[in-house]
């Protein structure tokens, strides 16, 4: 199952990572073992969730050793963090933004040893994602810069999420939701209203300000000894395609046998798609009902 695949992947990946750890003279100072698990599981109330997290920690330490700093990241309050971290075994940090960083920094101190909880935002949100049916996400550049300044003033570390927008290819776009009818699929674009847009241009906030320049101005006010002058921004000249006329079409369901070679028939015990070694995309289930009269009661 899933854990077996995790074990196989980490047992292949982590030995490659190990020589690049900070303790070995490399650039990797920390390793994140899970991402926002407190939004989905609860290590406080569910023994299986705790067992899962413990397994990840034990596996990472068995390969990387006991000196590497392992950490988890969750939403920036004690609720999310309590459900997604293992105090005393990993470094607990939050993600947030743009907004007051102090609540998240205070929350992480609840779970980390006293004096060993440097302020950190693992994902400082420079924008936001967009779901189908919504307008493109657009957040204030001034706010992003303002609260980034506060993080630095509090001697905090941060990672810009996202620094550069991108694209969700194939079936990898994902979705948000809480189960059932709470389902918000992401669009193909992951521009994220980032300081560098999906197309490589400057990103602009809802206030009309250049988000890249706003962040750069903050960083330049706090120079570091190892800083290098920022490279010149590339000359990007986007070109509009104009009107594209579609004159051909094809039925999706009518061409399934052309699009895929995976078919299973006469299944007495229908299984989720993961059990057919299909980890992403869509699976179509069909059934032929034989009969001449009567009614059908369909339930979830």
Options 23, 36, 213, 300, the catalytic residue: 36
Q: For 74-91, how does the pLDDT look when each residue is reduced to its tens digit (9 = 90+)?
A: 999 999 999 999 999 999
Active site residue 34: no
Q: What mean pLDDT is predicted for residues 54-64?
A: 98
Which pLDDT score is estimated for 236? 79
Active site residue 123: yes
Summarize pLDDT for 245-298 with one digit per residue, the tens: 999 999 988 998 888 877 777 777 888 888 888 877 788 888 877 776 777 777
Task: Supply the mean pLDDT for the chain.
Answer: 92
Q: Which residues lie below 8 Å from residue 69, measured CB to CB, with a gap of 6+?
A: 29, 30, 31, 91
The CA distance from 87 to 107, in Å, is 12
Which position among 23, 102, 123, 300 bears the catalytic label? Answer: 123
* Overall average pLDDT of the 223-237 stretch: 78
Which string of b and e fits 4-29 if b means at least 16 CB within 10 Å? eeeeeebeeebeebbeebeeeeeebe
pLDDT at 201 over 80: yes
C-beta separation of 77 from 94 below 8 A: yes
pLDDT at 106: 98
Sheet holding 69-75, edge to edge: 30-35, 69-75, 91-96, 120-125, 157-161
Distance CA 86, CA 52 (A): 11
């Amino acid at each position: 199952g899933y854990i077996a695949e995790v074990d196989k992947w980490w047992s292949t990946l982590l030995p490659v990572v190990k020589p690049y750890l900070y303790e070995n003279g490399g650039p990797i100072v920390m390793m994140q073992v899970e991402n926002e698990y407190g939004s989905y599981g609860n290590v406080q109330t569910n023994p299986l969730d705790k067992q899962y997290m413990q397994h990840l920690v034990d596996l990472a330490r068995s390969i990387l050793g006991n000196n590497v700093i392992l950490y988890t990241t969750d939403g920036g309050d004690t609720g999310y963090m309590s459900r997604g971290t293992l105090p005393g075994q990993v470094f607990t940090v939050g993600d947030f933004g743009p907004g007051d960083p102090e609540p998240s920094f205070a929350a992480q101190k609840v779970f980390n040893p006293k004096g060993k909880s440097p302020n950190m935002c693992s994902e400082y949100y420079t924008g936001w994602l967009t779901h189908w049916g919504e307008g493109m996400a657009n957040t204030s550049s001034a706010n992003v810069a303002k609260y980034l300044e506060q993080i630095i003033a509090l001697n905090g570390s941060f990672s810009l999420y996202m620094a550069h927008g991108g694209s969700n290819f194939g079936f990898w776009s994902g979705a948000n939701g809480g189960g059932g009818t709470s389902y918000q699929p992401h669009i193909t674009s992951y521009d994220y209203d980032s300081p560098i847009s999906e197309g490589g241009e400057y990103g602009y906030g809802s206030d009309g300000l250049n988000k890249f320049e706003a962040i750069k101005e903050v960083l330049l006010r706090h120079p570091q000894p190892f800083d290098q002058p920022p490279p010149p921004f590339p000359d990007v000249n986007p070109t509009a395609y104009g009107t594209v006329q579609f004159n051909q079409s094809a039925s999706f369901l009518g061409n399934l046998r052309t699009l895929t070679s995976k078919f299973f028939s006469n299944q007495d015990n229908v299984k989720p798609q993961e059990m057919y070694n299909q980890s992403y995309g869509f699976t179509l289930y069909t059934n032929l009902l034989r009969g001449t009269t009567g009614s059908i009661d369909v339930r979830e």
